[in-house]
Amino acid sequence: MASWLKLLLIPADIQKETMKIARILDEAGGVFGLEYDNTLGKKNFMRLDALSYERAVREAKSFLGINEDDQDADGAQWVID
């Protein structure tokens, strides 16, 4: 199921409290980066060690502790863009 579709299926009041967004950035030279917000609302950036977009998504999920239901250990719902 597409990430945006999952977002539409979550009630708006729950989205405001528990929705987190991470973005995979396709940078120059075939490098992928990860941009995500911490719990204080500050953006964090890191480089991902991946050669493809699919591997970058897997590495980002692993780093952020996101399970197959797109939730972290605290139960927050994640969308990876």
pTM above 0.85, yes or no: no
What are the domain boundaries of the chain? 19-58
pLDDT at 13: 52
pLDDT at 19: 83
Q: How far is CA 32 from CA 2, 11, 54, 79, in A?
A: 21, 32, 11, 17
Tokens of 19: 């929705």
pLDDT at 15: 47
Q: In which order are the strands placed within the sheet that holds 31-37? A: 43-48, 31-37, 19-27, 77-80
Query: Would you write out the chain's pLDDT as a tens digit for each of its 81 residues?
Result: 444 445 555 555 544 456 899 999 998 888 999 999 877 778 999 999 999 999 999 999 999 999 999 999 989 899 998
